[in-house]
A and B are shown apart, each in its own frame.
Chain A
Amino acid sequence: MISASDAAPVLPERDNALRENWRTFKVAVRLGWQVEGNWADPLVFLIFAILRPMAAALILVLMYEVIAGGERGAYFNYLYLSNAFFVLVIETMAGLAWTVLEDRENYKMLKYIYTSPARKFSYLIGRAVARISLGLLTTLVLLATGILFLGLKLDRASIEWGWLVLYFPLGMVSLLGLGICLAGIALVIARHGGSIGEVTAGSLLMFSGAFFPVDGLPPVLREISLGVPITYWLEGMRRALTGGVLIQTTTAPDGSTTSQPISPLLATFDNVQLLVILLVAAVVSAVVAALFFRWVENQAKERGMIDRITGY
Chain B
Amino acid sequence: MGLDLHADSSISTYDNAAEGRDVIPSGTAQRNAPHVARPLAIHVENLSRIYKSRGEKKKKGEQAVPKTLNALDGVDLEVYQGELFGLLGPNGAGKTTLIKILTTLLAPSSGTARVDGLDVVRDSNEVRRRINMVSGGETSGYGILTVRENLWMFSQFYGVTWKDAYARIDELLKIVELEDKKNALVSSLSTGQRQRMNFCRGFVTDPKVMFLDEPTLGLDVHAARIIREFTKDWLQKNPDRTLLLTTHYMAEADELCDRIAIIDHGKVLACDTPANLKRLLQKQPTFEISAAGITERTVAALSSAPGVVGVTALPDPSGASQKLNFILEDESAIGSVVSTLTAHNGSILTLQKNEPTLEDVFIKLVGRSLTAAEPTE
Contacts and interface: CB of A to CB of B under 8 A. Distances in A.
Contacts of B139: 309
A177 B143 CA distance: 31
A312 B145 CA distance: 8
B142 interface: yes
B129 to A, nearest CB: 27
Nearest to B145: A312
A309 B142 CA distance: 9
B187 interface: yes
A158 interface: no
Closest 6 CB pairs of A and B: A312-B144, A312-B142, A310-B143, A310-B187, A309-B143, A312-B143
B37 to A, nearest CB: 49
Interface of B: 139, 142-145, 187
15 contacts: A190-B144, A308-B143, A308-B187, A309-B139, A309-B143, A309-B187, A310-B143, A310-B144, A310-B187, A311-B142, A311-B143, A312-B142, A312-B143, A312-B144, A312-B145
Contacts of A309: 139, 143, 187
Q: Is the interface of B mostly helix, strand, loop or mixed?
A: loop
Given A308-B187, A309-B139, A310-B143, 12 more contacts: A190-B144, A308-B143, A309-B143, A309-B187, A310-B144, A310-B187, A311-B142, A311-B143, A312-B142, A312-B143, A312-B144, A312-B145
Interface residues of A, number: 6
Contacts of A311: 142-143
Interface of A: 190, 308-312
Contacts of B187: 308-310
A52 B203 CA distance: 47
Nearest to A309: B143
Contacts of B144: 190, 310, 312
A190 B187 CA distance: 10
Contacts of B142: 311-312
A304 B142 CA distance: 18
B146 to A, nearest CB: 12
Contacts of A312: 142-145
Contacts of A308: 143, 187
B242 to A, nearest CB: 33
Contacts of B143: 308-312
A20 B222 CA distance: 44
Nearest to A310: B143
A213 B256 CA distance: 75
Contacts of B145: 312
B153 to A, nearest CB: 11
A311 B139 CA distance: 12
Nearest to A308: B187
A190 B188 CA distance: 13
Nearest to A307: B191
A261 B143 CA distance: 53
A311 B144 CA distance: 7
A99 B111 CA distance: 45
Contacts of A310: 143-144, 187
A12 B143 CA distance: 41
A308 B187 CA distance: 7
A193 to B, nearest CB: 13
